[in-house]
Amino acid sequence: MTTTRTAPGAPAAGANGGITYREAMRAALREALAKDERVFLMGEDVGRYGGCFAVSLGLLEEFGPERIRDTPLSESAFVGAGIGAALAGMRPIVEIMTVNFSLLALDQILNNAATLSHMSGGQFGVPLVIRMTTGAGRQLAAQHSHSLEGWYTHIPGLRIVAPATLEDARGMLWTALADPDPVLIFEHGSLYTLSGELPPGAGAVDIDRAAVRRPGSDVSLITYGGTLHKTLEAAGRLASEGVEAEVLDLRSLRPLDDATIMDSVRRTHRAVVVDEAWRSGSLSAEISARVTEQVFYELDAPVARVCGVEIPIPYPRHLEEAAVPQPDDVVAAAHRVVSGDA
């Protein structure tokens, strides 16, 4: 059955010169398919259409329909097929169009992929990689734009990563495929047109550690994915106003790299968590709790959070922008924490 769910419009790849995030992801897919014949990609529109966000464009022609497989519009069915293939020794990569639709496969992900190794005493691993788009910022409204990755970080047995840079878009996939357990890769939709240069020989990267993207001494800004670049913009503005903010890119959302997070907070003595997801029951709440549990006496101010407004993501651009963290919000939160007004 040919898929008919239309792609939520993706700008042309490579429009800004250099390599784009989308192209870096495609290069990672191409490398994995070329290196290991057990690797195959399946999902809605990944073949003839080239992927809902054009990530797999051209791979069907290069690798053929046995390895680039269009699936019916049934997330539960094709994620289940991926789990079965992984159990049989293959290395499937399953693409789900958006995180909202992944909820249709939640039973497969939670009750099968995440638990089979535990329930079999380690006899059956599920080396499955699931990629999906997350986040707002593209006027795709409430059924395509939420940030639900925090829900998946609640589940033991899953590894959750969020590449926010070209290097991580290029390098996380191969490392994920080598993991014996299921790995979910969350790609923020606003990043697909991010462009720049990759160093020669760019390849696999670790998926274990957070990274300091900007050093600073006054406050730690802890974030990931689509909000990393907004946070870096905020840090630049804070520097011009006399506040040196350290920007921490989590990269791995489960497990969290507690050591790097706490080292940063010990240096700055203040923390602001920036998370596009809803505030209640969120990953930002988990990070805030861990900071309080582990380095409470290092803090000079309560941990602050900048999160998405707790409403379905609106369609009008001005309302969508108002519903998710912006650099102005991060700057204001940092100033409150540093001044002691938090």
CATH number for the domain that contains residue 283: 3.40.50.920
Q: Which of 144, 146, 188, 229 is catalytic?
A: 144
Locate 39 and state its tokens.
């690797």
In a domain? residue 2: no
Instruction: Assess whether 185 and 303 both reside in one domain.
Output: no
Whether residues 162 and 186 fall in one domain: yes
pTM: 0.93
Q: Identify the domain containing residue 145 by its residue range.
A: 19-196
Query: Do 116 and 152 contact (CB within 8 A), yes or no?
Result: no
Say whether both 94 and 224 belong to one domain.
Answer: no
CATH number of the domain bearing residue 143: 3.40.50.970
Q: Is 261 found in the same domain as 179?
A: no
- Do 187 and 255 belong to one domain? no
For every one of its 342 residues, what pLDDT tens digit does the chain have, with 9 covering 90 and above? Answer: 333 333 333 333 344 458 999 999 999 999 999 999 999 999 999 999 999 999 999 999 999 999 999 999 999 999 999 999 999 999 999 999 999 999 999 999 999 999 999 999 999 999 999 999 999 988 888 888 899 999 999 999 999 999 999 999 999 999 999 999 999 999 999 999 999 999 888 999 999 999 999 999 999 999 999 999 999 999 999 999 999 999 999 999 999 999 999 999 999 999 999 999 999 999 999 999 999 999 999 999 999 999 999 999 999 999 999 999 999 999 999 999 999 876
Compute the distance between CA of residue 49 and CA of residue 306 in angstroms, rounded to an integer.
37
Is there a domain that residue 12 lies in? no
∠ CA 40-46-48 to the nearest 5 degrees? 115
Question: Is residue 205 one of the residues assigned to a domain?
Answer: no
Distance of alpha carbon 34 from alpha carbon 189, whole angstroms: 26
Tell me if residue 75 is catalytic. Answer: yes
State whether 68 and 109 are in the same domain: yes
Question: Of the residues 152, 173, 196, which one is the last residue of a structural domain?
Answer: 196
Give buried/exposed letters for 144-153 (b at 16+ CB in 10 A, else e).
bbbbbbbbbb
- 196, 227, 260: which is the final residue of a domain? 196
The last residue of a domain, from among 196, 226, 257: 196
Question: Same domain for 190 and 227?
Answer: no
23, 75, 276, 286: which one is catalytic?
75
Is 9 contained in some domain?
A: no
Residue 27 CA to residue 201 CA, distance in Å, equals 12
Angle value at C-alpha 273, between 342 and 175, nearest 5 degrees: 170
Same domain, 145 and 219: no
Place of tokens 């582990």: 294
Task: Find, among 13, 75, 20, the residue nearest to 42 by Cα.
Answer: 75
Token code pair at residue 305: 């959070």
**Distance from C-alpha of 230 to C-alpha of 250, rounded to nearest angstrom:** 15
Both 222 and 335 in one domain: the answer is yes
Structural domain total, the chain = 2
